[in-house]
Copies of this chain bind each other. A is one copy, B any other.
């Protein structure tokens, strides 16, 4: 397809597509003449993913490029490609925290991972961004006077594990390894706001059931 059709089918303006091409977020089309190039379904899929990362995930262009680089690195195993891409996604903001508070939260998170038997999360803890995010979130909760510990977090962790299993089952239905990784990354970025909204709807529902209006 030509650039105009790629724009129409993706809903992304031509000027934005050209910008993504210049920034290396979208591979060049197949050149058919000095002035025109041809784009395929792979370009359309990639364009949608870039859009998801930037517009929904709020990633800066450099971070999006890093995520895509890992998705495209077929010298790595599926686990490593997915892990590297997910780790390049930005985490939550980090408030100022005292070292002691962070250490205490880290000990609770380690206790949680042990009790869950999440060996990989434990082995990778010194370099894992989601591990760091969890420690920071817990340290913040405790700093603010909420007495959360591994026992309180555990049922949440089990629910999120069930959610992750659903996500990976969906990922497995993608035909190729590249598409599996793409689907998992896009799913993560796009599912975060959906899960947050579902949580709030459920909370409202449950509040009304318990206390009335």
Contacts and interface: CB of A to CB of B under 8 A. Distances in A.
A207 B141 contact: no
B168 A134 contact: no
A71 to B, nearest CB: 14
Interface stretch (A32-40, A60-68, A80-88): A80-88
A98 interface: yes
A203 B164 contact: yes
A14 interface: no
B160 A202 contact: yes
A185 to B, nearest CB: 11
A144 B49 contact: yes
23 contacts: A11-B143, A52-B140, A58-B93, A77-B212, A78-B207, A86-B204, A92-B192, A130-B196, A130-B197, A130-B200, A130-B204, A133-B197, A137-B191, A144-B186, A153-B198, A159-B160, A160-B195, A160-B201, A161-B198, A161-B202, A163-B202, A168-B203, A168-B206
